[in-house]
Structure 1
Amino acid sequence: MEIRERPAAGSLFEAAELLGIPASGIVKTLVVKRSDDTFLFALVPGGRSISWPKLRALVGVNKLRLPEPELALAATGYERGTIVPIGSTTAWPVYADESIVGRRIAMGAGAHGYSLFVEADDLIAAYGATVADISVPEDR
């Protein structure tokens, strides 16, 4: 695990450029709200977004959504753009897109201007993450 300081970035693509890696090398930790007011983390690489039908089927629910920024902060202790399962105020279940397996990835490090580099397989094992196809290419 390595934490690297970098200039503040306005987007994932800008952060990737600053780090000298492809956008797909940055994994977004997305906080997802369930209808029972609990949450989960979805790990999705840059350039891709959550496939809501796939994630709902995997979790076994009919409704999932991204919460408002204030609710995501309350659920994790982190602001959007810095969220990471490591050190979250609650150990929510983790769902990882299968495309990150076997890769060294960068992700939020809990504060703006920092990136955490970690082996995805170690992160998946540490959190008992469910690995599946949960993403689709982003519209750009």
Structure 2
Amino acid sequence: MAKKEHISETPATQMLRKHKVAFSEHPYEYEEHGGTTVSARELGVDEHAVVKTLVMQDEAAKPLIVLMHGDCKVSTKNLARGIGCKSVEPCKPEVAQRHSGYMVGGTSPFGTKKAMPVYVEESILALDKIYINGGRRGYLVGIAPQVLLDLIQAKAVHCALAD
């Protein structure tokens, strides 16, 4: 019998387990700057179902999280308009890490160090299953998109640009 690879807990998996959320674990070989292209290829899933967690900030430097399809980019202009801000921009990696408590490349919207508003591209909610970071580089969890609304009160927005 093959030995199941042991995956240690992360703040994200602790939060999911605490709230009795059903999720599947998907470790893969992490590649620096490989992004969702690599994780989708490694897991054999459509990159559109792999959701990236982006830590951004508004004009007052207040942090927020945006969840986006792996094969799309965020229109910061549309996002700012959609959430009633003047502007939104990605945080610098060290700032993102300070807000989330996760290393860039391993950021999960679950179990973040600092409570931040979460925005999700609306079309993600229409998928059957999504693969999202589990709190470590090279580790995704498979969940129902509804979990984003129920557990972290994500708000739906329209800000996707085809990659």
Give TM-score scaled by structure 1 length. Answer: 0.92
**Contact 2:73–2:162 (CA<8 Å) still a contact in 1?**
yes
Query: C-alpha distance in 1, partners of 2:58/2:76?
Result: 12
Matches within 5 A, 1:49-68: 49-68=73-92
The question of 1:124 aligning with 2:149 is answered: yes
How many percent of aligned residue pairs carry the same amino acid? 26
Query: C-alpha distance in 2, partners of 1:118/1:22?
Result: 15
SS in 2 for 1:109: strand
The question of 1:76 aligning with 2:100 is answered: yes
Query: Which residue of the partner structure matches residue 24 of structure 1?
Result: 48
In structure 2, which of residues 52, 58, 62 is the aligned counterpart of residue 38 of structure 1? 62
Gaps of 5+ in 2: 1-22
**Contact 1:2–1:118 (CA<8 Å) still a contact in 2?**
yes
Cα shift at 1:49: 0.8
Give deviations 1:25-48, integer Å, cap 9, x for gaps: 100111111122211110100110
Q: Aligned pair count?
A: 138
Query: Which residue of the partner structure matches residue 133 of structure 1?
Result: 158
Cα shift at 1:90: 1.2
Gaps of 5+ in 1: none
Cα shift at 1:116: 1.3
Matches within 5 A, 1:97-116: 97-103=121-127, 104-116=129-141
Query: C-alpha distance in 2, partners of 1:125/1:84?
Result: 16
| One-letter amino acid matched to 1:20 | G
**Contact 1:102–1:121 (CA<8 Å) still a contact in 2?**
no
Cα shift at 1:71: 0.5
| One-letter amino acid matched to 2:24 | E
Q: List structure 1 runs of 4+ shifted beyond 4 angstroms.
A: none
Give TM-score scaled by structure 2 length. Answer: 0.80
Q: Which has the larger radius of gyration?
A: 2
